Amino acid sequence: MLSDTDPHALFAEWFAEARLGEPNDPEAMALATAGADGQPSLRMVLLKGHDERGFVFYTNLESRKAGELSATPRAALLFHWKSLRRQIRIEGPVERVSDAEGDAYFATRSRDSQLGAWASDQSRPLDSRATFETRYEAMRARFAEGGVPRPQHWSGFRVAPERIEFWQDRAHRLHERRLFVKRDGGWEEGLLYP
């Protein structure tokens, strides 16, 4: 069945409620990827932007997740707001954000987080915490004067949704599940059994 309901507007409404009512990290989302071998991988990341184009997060481009997204440019996201008894599942293709978007977001990060992006070889083996702290201090010295530019190995990805499911907890496990599927440039809406 077709609906006038816009899943992006519904997401924005639920996300605003989560920001008011979820006590810990309402922007936290599970990100599922798969490598070229099909092996799935899952981790938590933070939503840093959303609009009609999709849902954006940032990472080291040499990390495991970035490598998997390059090999298999599709992903699934899951928001779980336990205190609100809601979750949202999102699936779709992934693309890199523009350099301008990456630069703009990087500029909003704290200086320590910016330096950490330069110091970290994210997801690769680390012999000791002291090695990382030494690298961090070296970046502090390197960028002692002026701003910290975005490293070329750090940027963002956008998941462009093809499926968005809104799940609302109901008594006796009689949950409500609304599914939006993108077809022919619009959204088709339906319900799923709990």
Hey, which residues are catalytic here?
173
Distance between CA atoms of residues 20 and 77, nearest Å: 21
Query: Residue 33 in contact with residue 136, Cβ under 8 Å?
Result: no
Classify 117 as helix, strand or coil.
helix
Residue with token string 């006590």: 23
85: left (phi over 0), alpha (psi -120 to 50) or beta: left
Spell out where the chain has E strands.
28-34, 40-46, 49-51, 54-60, 74-81, 86-96, 154-159, 163-168, 176-183, 186-192
Query: Residue 34 in contact with residue 70, Cβ under 8 Å?
Result: no
Task: With residue 38 as reference, give the H or E element that holds it.
Answer: none
